[in-house]
Amino acid sequence: MNNPLGAFEQAAAAYGRFLEVFIDGHWWVTGDALENIGKTTKRLGANAYPHLYGGGAGVGLRGSSPTASGFATPNKETKNRFAD
């Protein structure tokens, strides 16, 4: 009987370590999830209401005017597009 800890104390210590890792892991996963939810919500809000996030109505649409950039035009016949 050289071991000062009995079976109950060893089980309690093991349970405590398990509980610590379990709770810490769940806090980590929950924190990551909340961070991603927050970033996504902010991104969706900025797209839906740009004037609330420091932008005008067309901030994300710069350079997308068809009159300025032109339209894509095919340069090959339809039958020859996939021949090369």
Residue 64 CA, distance from chain mean position: 27
Q: What confidence tier does 1 reach under pLDDT thresholds 50, 70, 90?
A: very low
Q: Is the dihedral of CA 20, 22, 27, 28 positive or negative?
A: positive
Cα separations (Å) of 60 from 31, 50, 64, 68?
A: 30, 9, 9, 16
Which amino acid, 16?
G
pLDDT tens sequence across 20-35: 988 888 998 999 999 9
What are the structural domain ranges in the chain? 1-49
Please indicate, yes or no, whether the overall pTM of this predicted structure exceeds 0.85.
Answer: no
Residues 6 or more apart whose Cβ sits within 8 Å of residue 47: 60
Question: Does the pLDDT at position 2 exceed 90?
Answer: no
